[in-house]
Structure 1
Amino acid sequence: MRALCWHGKGDVRVDTVPDPRIEHPRDAVIKITCCAICGSDLHLLDGYQPTMESGDILGHENMGEVIELGSEVTNLKIGDRVVVPFTISCGDCWFCRQGMFSACDRTNPNAKMAAEAMGQSPAGLFGFSHMMGGYSGGQAEYLRVPMADIGPIKVPDNVSDEQALFLSDIFPTGYMAAENAQIQNGDTVAIWGCGPVGQFAIRSAFMLGAGRVIAIDEVPERLAMAEAGGAETINFSKLDVYDELMVWTKGRGPDSCIDAVGCEASGHGAADAILDKVKAATFLATDRVHVLREAIMCCRKGGTISIPGVYVGMGDKIPIGAAMNKGLTFKMGQTHVQAYTKPLLAKIEAGEIDPSFVITHPASLEDAPEMYKKFRDKEDGVIKVILRP
């Protein structure tokens, strides 16, 4: 089959690789009908995520048609159209029983490697390094889906691929980010990053009762899409974010702040952001945490900071003293996707949201290397790329 493979920092290629096969009775194999490039994939392209190996197949936003099933998968049948959560979860460990699917204890075969870096291992993830299990991703013609009796959900005929695909990651991620922000009716929510996750966080914040959402980015088309979703916007390359938020909230600060940027934050001239880039380039730090610092300083006293943006290692000079003295609450983590797919699918079917709004660039799998670079470099108005093998 053809698949998009990582071959080193800045080097992804479409290669011919062996087809996947059933390896366990709880496996399924699907023929990919639609997949997408995620902002988290850019951390792999840029070399920030450790334990990648040349030839690894990328992609964790996947859906397709079931073509093979293991003997223990009884909830699916051949021909079913399914969307696949990016978290691989057993459904039966203590964490899965609590609904914390991204913390599954049983699906990372390289748990020891992850525990050495993090203390304990999270769940295995599709296409996201050997520390996270070494599972092949779905930017390919076919995908092996472990724990297929727990993860994939059937997509009804009245929901298109473009509407369903983002149940695999960015819609649940944006929604969980808004839930983690502990929004009360009428709250003001500030969201850093108007990429795909930020766009879903904006719309989810309003679903959960926010009275006002202020979105922060510098890319015109992203800011325009945020405004189309009801947000007010701040262009951080033209305005000081802290000063603007204080004016807009009469000096109190936003009730909740969502960091939808993560480890590759930009700060355009801010001293801390420049220092972050130098430290990352010289391996003195891994993560550029300008947005997290800014959110801590901006959030109102007693407020909440939600972090869906991916961080991969060590950040420097995080103002923990400000966070403690202001009494901030932090909630973060990889998304418990399986807890959200069915209720969010119901919202799509009810017409409350059409997730396809975020798509700007449909492309073929063979276009993937070019589209990765366009997405990374914010060229040609790219906000979200979907791929069809």
Structure 2
Amino acid sequence: MKAITWHGKHDMRCETVPDPEIEHGRDAIIKMSACAICGSDLHFYDGFMPGMESGDIVGHEFMGEVVEVGKDNRKLAVGDRVVVPFTIVCGECDQCRRGNFSVCERSNRNAETAAKMFGHTTAGLFGYSHLTGGYSGGQAEYVRVPFADVGPVKVPDGLSDEDVLFLGDILPTGWQGAKNCDIQPTDTVAIWGAGPVGLFALQSAIIQGAKQVVMIDEVPERLALAQSKGAITINFQEESVVDRLNELTGGKGPEKCIDCVGMEAHAPYGAEHLYDRAKQAVMAETDRPHVLREMIYVCRPGGIISVPGVYGGMVDKIPFGAAMNKSLTFRMGQTHVNKWAGDLLNRVQDGQFDSTFMITHRGSLEDGPDLYKTFRDKKDGCVKVVLTP
């Protein structure tokens, strides 16, 4: 079969690789019908994600048709159309029973390695390094899905692939990012990053009742999309984020702040930007935390900071004293996709979410390596890439 594989920083290839096979009775094999390049894929594309190995099949946002099921799988049948959450979950461990699916205790095949890195294991993830299990990803013609009697979400008739594809990651990620904020009708919600996750967080914050939502980015095309969905926008290269947020909130700051950027944050050029770039270049810190610093500084005392953006390791110069003295609450984590998927599927069917407006580029798996670069560089107005076999 054809699949997109990682061979080092900025070296993605579409190659012929062995077809997957059933390895466990609860498995299923999915014939991929659509997949996407996610913003978090850019972290290994840029060489910042530990645990990658040359030849790894990547991709964690995908859907397709069931073509084979294991002998113990009673949920799925050949011919079912499913979206596959990026988190691999057993459904039986203590964390899964609590709804904390992204920290499933059983699905990470390399749990001991993950525990050395993070203190405890996290869930297995598709196509996202050997720290999260080393599972082959979904940017491939066929995918083996472990615990397929738990994770996959069946797609009802009448919905296109593009209507539901993002239920596997970025839609529930944006929803959880907003849900973690406990949004009240009087709240100003500030969102850093007008990429796909940020745009879903914007829609989610409005659905959840925010008074006003402010989007912060530097890419005009993305800010225009955010504005079209009801956001007030700030281009951080053209005006002060702190001054504008204070102006919009009567000097009090936003009650809720959401980081949809993560480890590769950009900042206006200056001493902070150069400091982080230099430290990251020599691996003195792994992640650029400009957004975290800015959120802590500008968030209203007693407010909530939500972090759906991916961080991989160590950050520096975090003003933790400000966070403590301002009584800020932090909520963060990889997304508990199966906690939200059923409700969000109903909301998509009801038309509450526009799931397709951000798709700007489409291509085949063979186009994938070039489209990684287009997406990373935000060329040609690129916001979201969808690939098909």
TM-score scaled by structure 2?
A: 0.99
SS of 2:316's partner is coil
Say if 2:239 is the partner of 1:244. no
Counterpart of 1:341, as a letter, is: A
Q: CA–CA distance in 2 between the matches of 1:215 and 1:144?
A: 38
Q: CA–CA distance in 1 between the matches of 2:146 and 2:104?
A: 13
Q: How many residues align?
A: 389
Structure 1 segment 146-295 matched on structure 2, within 5 A:
146-295=146-295
Counterpart in 1 of 2:145?
Answer: 145
Counterpart in 1 of 2:54?
Answer: 54
Q: CA–CA distance in 2 between the matches of 1:271 and 1:74?
A: 58
Q: Deviations along 1:227-276, whole A, 9 cap, x unmatched?
A: 01100000001111111111111110001000000000011214222211
Q: CA–CA distance in 1 between the matches of 2:118 and 2:386?
A: 32
Q: CA–CA distance in 1 between the matches of 2:48 and 2:103?
A: 22
Counterpart in 1 of 2:114?
Answer: 114
Give yes or no for contact 1:363–1:387 (8 Å, CA) kept in 2.
yes
Counterpart in 1 of 2:68?
Answer: 68
Q: CA–CA distance in 2 between the matches of 1:195 and 1:353?
A: 16
Q: CA–CA distance in 2 between the matches of 1:27 and 1:356?
A: 30
Say if 2:349 is the partner of 1:349. yes
Q: CA–CA distance in 1 between the matches of 2:200 and 2:37?
A: 16
In angstroms, what is the RMSD of aligned CA positions? 0.6
Counterpart in 1 of 2:104?
Answer: 104
Q: CA–CA distance in 1 between the matches of 2:182 and 2:278?
A: 35
Deviation at 1:109, TM superposition (A): 1.0
Counterpart in 2 of 1:325?
Answer: 325
Counterpart in 2 of 1:382?
Answer: 382
Counterpart of 1:117, as a letter, is: M
Q: Deviations along 1:301-332, whole A, 9 cap, x unmatched?
A: 00000000000000000000000000000000
Q: CA–CA distance in 2 between the matches of 1:268 and 1:377?
A: 17
Q: CA–CA distance in 1 between the matches of 2:244 and 2:28?
A: 51
Give yes or no for contact 1:62–1:138 (8 Å, CA) kept in 2.
yes
Q: CA–CA distance in 2 between the matches of 1:268 and 1:300?
A: 23
SS of 1:354's partner is coil
Q: CA–CA distance in 2 between the matches of 1:296 and 1:268?
A: 17
**Structure 1 residues 191, 270: closer, same or farther in 2, change over 3 A?**
farther
SS of 1:191's partner is strand
Q: CA–CA distance in 1 between the matches of 2:136 and 2:284?
A: 30
Give yes or no for contact 1:34–1:165 (8 Å, CA) kept in 2.
yes
Give yes or no for contact 1:267–1:274 (8 Å, CA) kept in 2.
no
Counterpart of 1:147, as a letter, is: F
Q: CA–CA distance in 2 between the matches of 1:269 and 1:224?
A: 23
TM-score scaled by structure 1?
A: 0.99
Deviation at 1:173, TM superposition (A): 0.1
Counterpart in 2 of 1:340?
Answer: 340
Q: CA–CA distance in 1 between the matches of 2:257 and 2:183?
A: 10
Deviation at 1:283, TM superposition (A): 1.0
Counterpart of 2:104, as a letter, is: C
Counterpart of 2:211, as a letter, is: G
Give yes or no for contact 1:185–1:210 (8 Å, CA) kept in 2.
yes
SS of 2:357's partner is helix
Give yes or no for contact 1:101–1:339 (8 Å, CA) kept in 2.
yes
Q: CA–CA distance in 2 between the matches of 1:229 and 1:357?
A: 10
Deviation at 1:119, TM superposition (A): 0.3
- Gaps of at least 5 residues in structure 2 are none
Q: Deviations along 1:40-63, whole A, 9 cap, x unmatched?
A: 000010011001000000000010
SS of 2:366's partner is helix
Say if 2:313 is the partner of 1:313. yes
Counterpart of 1:100, as a letter, is: N
Deviation at 1:189, TM superposition (A): 0.2
Give yes or no for contact 1:26–1:71 (8 Å, CA) kept in 2.
yes
Bigger mean CA offset, 353-362 vs 274-283: 353-362
Counterpart of 2:199, as a letter, is: Q
Q: Deviations along 1:121-180, whole A, 9 cap, x unmatched?
A: 110000000010000001010000000011001101111100110000000000000001
Q: CA–CA distance in 1 between the matches of 2:204 and 2:293?
A: 24
SS of 1:221's partner is helix
Q: CA–CA distance in 1 between the matches of 2:195 and 2:352?
A: 21
